[in-house]
Amino acid sequence: MSAHGTSTHHPDSLIYLCGEEVRQACAEIDPLACMHETLVAHAEGKTILPPEAYLGWEPPGGGEARSITMPGLVNGGLTAVGTKVINANPGNVGHGLPRASGLTVLFDPLTARPLCVMEGAHISALRTAAVSVLAVRRLARTGARAAALYGAGVIAREHALMLARRLPGLEEIRVYDEVPGRVADFERDTAEGLAAHGVKVVAARDARTAAHEADVVVACTSTRTGYIERSWLTRGALAVNVSLDDLTEDVLLGADKLYVDDWDLIRDDPHRLLGHLLREGRVRQRGTATLGELLGGVRPGRESDDELIVVNPFGLAVEDIALAHRVFRIARHRGLGLALPR
């Protein structure tokens, strides 16, 4: 029975799935398997990923608002096609609202008619964490036991819970957030899930301390100014930059191996540091690899426990669409969602 009180869908209805219904469906999905399949398909040219449409504006009360629309198509056993819309305003936090919110819209691959509109925040956080954890499982050094997380928001929590479940031997997650009180909220919200896997949370007193002797470092913030320095990272560390630009130039240039999800997106991005370094010729695409190539066995992973490895995923709309497609199939089977007349 749906949270909206309906259990049947008219064949020609447009289905809306709220956040709780999306979570219910996601509980039946292996997000790592979904992201593995999607990244390999992308590396094999089985996706269509047009440029995103960016709209930014200054609200009447000040601040910085933006809306990004990202269409995509994934060809696999089944074809998934749709659009991700993600909006944000950092000023929302001061009003008790989430910084970002969004929707994922799926289309019928035969007729192009909209099939389903669903709340997009959980899908975005889940696929982001799944991509990071796929990379960690392939690229972290043997016996990794300590991880550092920068940022204590929703995406960081998904990372912590998924790392605890999927990285055997992990014992400790150090968390740093510059906003007072957020780490305490993080600890409260993840305590049960982490304790079930024997993982403890340590609140780092500063950003440098968090990285000290951490085997895995994951940045989940919204900063545009790098601060994680090469000297902070222990030999053999794996650094995953989920955010915009937490890693400084010396980390990107000093990495023994560098993995991305899509070089074209990084090259065309006008803001991120890695894009600037690539266009300047200071980072060369040749000799590096994509995550899809790694997962598909085309390119090597870690070859020494002493290698410093950096993973800098841009974030692909096809990841959201592939996961949303699975959510929709489960929702249709379970009778979840509100059927809207066309």
Residues 246/228, Cβ–Cβ less than 8 Å: yes
- The domain 14-123+318-340 is placed in CATH, from the list 3.30.460.20, 3.30.1780.10, 3.90.226.10, 3.30.420.40, at 3.30.1780.10
Q: HEC string of 185-216?
A: HHHHHHHHHHHCCCCEEEECCCHHHHHCCCCE
Q: pTM for this one?
A: 0.93
pLDDT confidence of residue 5: 43
Which residues, at least 6 apart from 104, have a Cβ–Cβ distance to it below 8 Å?
82, 83, 84, 85, 117, 118, 119, 120, 123, 320, 321, 324
Per-residue confidence (pLDDT) for residue 10, from 0 to 100: 60
User: What span, in angstroms and rounded, lies between the C-alpha atoms of 220 and 159?
Assistant: 9
Per-residue confidence at 7, pLDDT binned at 50, 70, 90?
A: very low
| Beta-carbon count within 10 A of 90 CB | 13
Residue 76 confidence (pLDDT): 76
14-123+318-340 and 139-316 have identical folds: no
Crossing angle, helix 182-195 and helix 154-166, to 10 degrees?
Answer: 20
Q: Does 139-316 carry CATH code 3.40.50.1580?
A: no
- Structure confidence by residue, pLDDT tens digits, 95-128: 888 888 999 999 999 999 999 999 999 999 999 9
Mean pLDDT calculated for residue range 175-187: 93
At 1, is the pLDDT very low, low, confident or very high (cuts 50, 70, 90)? very low
Distance CA(96)–CA(93), nearest Å, equals 5
Segment (H or E) for 127: helix 121-139
Q: What is the pLDDT of residues 265-284, one digit of tens each?
A: 898 888 899 999 999 999 98
Cβ pair 15, 9 in contact under 8 A: yes
SS3 category, 298: coil
pLDDT at 93: 80
Which candidate, 23, 81, 125, places its Cα nearest to that of 331? 23
Would you say residue 148 has pLDDT above 90? yes
8 has pLDDT over 70: no
pLDDT at 6: 42
Domain boundaries, given as residue ranges, for the chain: 14-123+318-340, 139-316
